[in-house]
Structure 1
Amino acid sequence: MQALRLRVARKSREAAGVAAFELRSLDGSALPPFTAGAHVDVLLREGLVRQYSLCNAPWERDRYVLGVQRKVDSRGGSVAMHDEVHEGAIVDIGLPRNLFSMAPAKRSLLFGAGIGITPLLSMAEVLHASGRAFELHYSARSPEQAAFRARLAAAAYADRVRFHFSTGPGANRLELPPLLATPDPEARLYVCGPPGYIGDITDFAAAHGWRADQVCVERFGATTASSGADRAFDVVLARSGRRFTIAPGQAIHEVLLSEGVEVPLSCEQGVCGTCLTRVLSGVPDHRDSFLDASEHARNDCMTVCCSRATSPELLLDL
């Protein structure tokens, strides 16, 4: 990972369980550019790398802003950010990457839930600055759990923001029919949030005639979809001929690392694509959110951090 060494200039509470981190260069120099929807890899400690969306405006070259939710089921990343990364700390991050980029459209509908609001914030800034039509629909359990709520309420585009809360006084859950029942061929949808939330929106859109190329999704966790049973299979490394058995409940990368085989890793959830590996023979059981449906169908590569196999054996280009 090509790293930037930055300083945490400010750490603030943005909602219950959500902290914002403002990162700046050590010498005051401009940071590498990024585009709306981009993220960075944050190296928290050796072997612990996590991805967080950049949520400030892309033209702000003096800082990067990240929003991080402390997760109850954290595998170490969000807890480390909240408990170990304080104002003044020095952190190493990768260069910005974008797997959730915007495309030109007459109108954009942005849907975010929970911490899924983060990449949409930079998108809203760009859409507003360019004079393009958009709406931002933000769902949270309650106002206290809506990250960056004050920023959105005070934004120049606040009249295009709709908050949807599922509990408390004035609860107003997101209603999809008024928004998506009639497809707009010149619009694009951008969706980020928990898997169930994403599935509800994408399924509704597909059922009502929205084209697949109009819907762009950012997932912060792997899908649980599986095309085969969780059973044992063998992995063969093409370059050495070594063979390993992957038992039910084991991940390919865990077995390979335990046997001294180097595998590039980052998110370990099938989201970032760092561990993407060529498949020379065999049929993967894709469980990632990085590859799209057409790439899954080709079966010529797989994420070894979370995907498995439907065939008895996989021959990998390792």
Structure 2
Amino acid sequence: MTVTTNQSVREVLNQITHDPRYKNVMRMDKYDIPQTFLTLACLSIFTLSCYWYLTGTIPWWLAIPFNIVAVFLAFTPMHDASHRAVSSDSFVNDLLGTAAGQILLPGMNMPAFRAIHMDHHRYVGQDGRDPDCGLVNVPKWAGLSYLMFTDIHWLTWFFKHGRDNWSPRIKMYVYVMIATVVGLHAAFLLSPYWAEFLLLYVVPQRLGLGLVAYTFAHIQHPHGMTWEKEPFQSTVHIYESSPLRGLMFGQENHHIHHLLPHLPWYRYRRVWELANGILHKQPIPQRGWLKPAPEPIYVPGAEAFAPVDVRVVSIKEVGEGIRSFEFEPTDSDTLLPEGAAGAHMDVYIADGLIRQYSLVSHDEVTNRYRIAVKREDNGRGGSRAMHELTEGQVIKIGPPKNNFMLYENATRFILVAGGIGITPMLAMAHRLIRLNKDFELHVCARNEDAVPFQEELSVSRLAKHVHIHLDQDNGRSALSPEKVLANPGEGTQVYICGPGGFMNWLRESAIGLGWKDENIRIESFAAPIAKDVENHPFTLHLTKTNKEIEVKADQSILDALQHSGVEPAYACMQGTCGTCITTVVEGEVDHRDAFLSESEKSSNTAMCMCVSRAKGDRLSVEL
């Protein structure tokens, strides 16, 4: 399974990957200085240490520690290369990763290691599918010494589990690697230099491999936690006070690596800043390099995401056909979850009738939510049912979800609301006032009576930011995109909410005026995939070769392609990097990635093959 079936982590991923700074964080050069330096450093240390020992410059007891350091350093470029996080050029990336990998395992090749490591990322904590499970819960008879034989553990796992799930091509690479490793060891051990080989390579390689496995696998994953069910608890954060965390090359933030595996190790820290620091709010266990995480590890139960009973405490007319509703929990001990600006929630109006409404405000002092609903007599019935509610009535609401996050790091904001689209904008406006940010709030309405929340908009602190645009006699909006959106800027974010046609008009106008797509935010109630989502099989048609491939219900498109001999590039396997994006020719896509924008998804012209699927029985892609 993939991370995209978990609602909470998918929402966080969407918020992070749509932060305007995300593309810069994931940017990769052809020759990345830190990664290239680390690769050359480990190769140089190992080569010089061996040379100095063989020429009598240093004793054996100094050569061994040097080579252990080289083995430890070699893991990071080899590991990052498996995620294509060493170079933007595939050849350079795999070359550097493979070169460093020879210190860890002579004969190692990138396709084989990438397959092993990607299965770990996809199936963390799942016995039989995660090749690193045995490194977390080591056999009692061996203890931590087992970690020195990580390569043998992986080999055992491959013959028991991996080869049943991998393509013939990947299995061939594994067999080639095994033959090369065995051949090189046999050649050296049968040569006159067998003693030097044992001293300079085998001993430091085993000790270094044990140190690598302990640092980057054993302490990073609490036993019993899986990426599918407990994504935020299946990886750890190393205490800031831990003295050895500086030697972990980013993996002290291992949870960030599993969320965004395609990032180079030295950029993990920057992810903490994205999406208003959303990761700081997640229940991620912490531990030291030696000190284990406190037990039991807290895992939010189903009750954390379950609807709660609330009482309608206030209903007010706030515009033509628009009513606001205030809710508070029926249980005074229930604390409503944070309702950040831009969030919406499910309202269970009646049996089988669930609608999504944006939060106008969350008053933490009174423990109340406020929403507003416009009555639509020709709608599906939700707004009519809402307008039939009475004060004191009890209904259920779900926890807030946020697909329309206010990215507070921007320097300037332009908020544009059409009619009832003002609801999330009011929450944003009040938040921006508290942050002392520069912003404009443009409200478009049919006429003066149709302007929602007139009294609130006239409040002095808010009034100076508000611009009202009433429709003209011909029915067109009086708002002029050429004036309101006249100055595109990197530090400015445009937020638009209103009827579909209104939002599309403004977005297209903004693009035409030079605004970048990542600086334009449009309200979306697109809900995360339900936990009980069921995949169905479908046929994938490759237009360039006219080949048809059957994708099973338990397969990703990438898995099916690889089993059929097609090897597209990939890096993250969870829809956050865009490496495996391909053009869609025909068929409707079930988008499950966090990389493509809502407009790109709605255009149905591209898809991430690692997680997305076909909605129907057939899909054609340009491969």
| Residue number in structure 2 paired with 1:298 | 607
| Residue number in structure 1 paired with 2:471 | 166
| Residue number in structure 2 paired with 1:65 | 370
| Residue number in structure 1 paired with 2:135 | none
SS of the equivalent of 2:338 reads coil
SS of the equivalent of 1:204 reads helix
Return closer, same or farther for 1:59/1:123 CA change in 2, 3 Å cut-off.
farther
CA distance in 1 between counterparts of 2:587 and 2:315 reads 42
For the Cα contact (< 8 Å) 1:57–1:125, is it kept in 2? no
CA distance in 1 between counterparts of 2:366 and 2:460 reads 20
| Residue number in structure 1 paired with 2:391 | 87
| Residue number in structure 1 paired with 2:504 | 199
CA distance in 1 between counterparts of 2:480 and 2:326 reads 34
1:167 Cα deviation after fit: 5.2
Equivalences for residues 144-159 of structure 1 within 5 A: 144-159=449-464
| Residue number in structure 1 paired with 2:329 | 25
CA distance in 1 between counterparts of 2:363 and 2:440 reads 19
Return closer, same or farther for 1:143/1:293 CA change in 2, 3 Å cut-off.
closer
1:96 maps onto 2:400 in alignment = yes
For the Cα contact (< 8 Å) 1:110–1:137, is it kept in 2? yes
Give, as a single letter, the amino acid of the residue that structure 2 aligns with 1:91.
I
Q: 2:344 aligns with which of 31, 36, 39?
A: 39
CA distance in 2 between counterparts of 1:137 and 1:191 reads 10
CA distance in 1 between counterparts of 2:412 and 2:331 reads 40
| Residue number in structure 1 paired with 2:491 | 186
| Residue number in structure 2 paired with 1:5 | 309
Superimposed CA distance per residue, residues 186-228 of structure 1 (whole angstroms, 9 cap, x where no aligned partner): 100000001121112111111111111101100469xxxxxxx
1:286 Cα deviation after fit: 5.5
Q: 1:120 aligns with which of 425, 431, 438?
A: 425
CA distance in 2 between counterparts of 1:220 and 1:151 reads 25
1:302 Cα deviation after fit: 7.4
Structure 1 range deviating more: 43-52 or 109-118: 43-52
Q: 1:210 aligns with which of 503, 506, 515?
A: 515
Give, as a single letter, the amino acid of the residue that structure 2 aligns with 1:102.
L
For the Cα contact (< 8 Å) 1:32–1:61, is it kept in 2? no
For the Cα contact (< 8 Å) 2:362–2:370, is it kept in 1? no
Q: Which has the higher strand share?
A: 1
1:177 Cα deviation after fit: 0.9
Give, as a single letter, the amino acid of the residue that structure 2 aligns with 1:292.
E
For the Cα contact (< 8 Å) 1:195–1:219, is it kept in 2? no
For the Cα contact (< 8 Å) 1:194–1:220, is it kept in 2? no
Superimposed CA distance per residue, residues 140-164 of structure 1 (whole angstroms, 9 cap, x where no aligned partner): 0011111111111125221000111
1:140 maps onto 2:445 in alignment = yes
Q: Quote the sequence identity (%).
A: 32
Return closer, same or farther for 1:208/1:68 CA change in 2, 3 Å cut-off.
same
For the Cα contact (< 8 Å) 1:31–1:61, is it kept in 2? no
Larger Rg, first or second structure (1 or 2): 2
1:166 Cα deviation after fit: 1.0
Deviating runs (4+, > 6 A) in structure 1? Answer: none
Give, as a single letter, the amino acid of the residue that structure 1 aligns with 2:607.
R
Give, as a single letter, the amino acid of the residue that structure 2 aligns with 1:21.
F
5+ residue gaps, structure 2: 1-304, 527-534, 539-584
The TM-score, its normalising length taken from structure 1, stands at 0.71
For the Cα contact (< 8 Å) 1:55–1:118, is it kept in 2? yes
1:285 maps onto 2:588 in alignment = yes
1:108 Cα deviation after fit: 0.4
CA distance in 1 between counterparts of 2:313 and 2:454 reads 21
CA distance in 1 between counterparts of 2:418 and 2:599 reads 24
1:110 maps onto 2:415 in alignment = yes
CA distance in 1 between counterparts of 2:319 and 2:343 reads 22
Return closer, same or farther for 1:129/1:80 CA change in 2, 3 Å cut-off.
same
For the Cα contact (< 8 Å) 1:15–1:146, is it kept in 2? yes
Give, as a single letter, the amino acid of the residue that structure 2 aligns with 1:285.
E
CA distance in 2 between counterparts of 1:174 and 1:112 reads 11
CA distance in 1 between counterparts of 2:423 and 2:368 reads 15
| Residue number in structure 1 paired with 2:126 | none
CA distance in 1 between counterparts of 2:398 and 2:308 reads 6
CA distance in 1 between counterparts of 2:433 and 2:365 reads 15
CA distance in 1 between counterparts of 2:370 and 2:424 reads 11
CA distance in 1 between counterparts of 2:426 and 2:456 reads 9
Return closer, same or farther for 1:213/1:291 CA change in 2, 3 Å cut-off.
closer
CA distance in 2 between counterparts of 1:287 and 1:77 reads 26
CA distance in 1 between counterparts of 2:362 and 2:462 reads 13
The TM-score, its normalising length taken from structure 2, stands at 0.37
1:96 Cα deviation after fit: 0.7
Alignment coverage as a number of residue pairs? 252
1:81 Cα deviation after fit: 0.4
Give, as a single letter, the amino acid of the residue that structure 2 aligns with 1:92.
K
Return closer, same or farther for 1:151/1:60 CA change in 2, 3 Å cut-off.
farther
| Residue number in structure 2 paired with 1:228 | none
Superimposed CA distance per residue, residues 17-74 of structure 1 (whole angstroms, 9 cap, x where no aligned partner): 1111010122444322121000110111222110001101565561100100111321
Q: Which has the higher helix share?
A: 2
1:287 Cα deviation after fit: 10
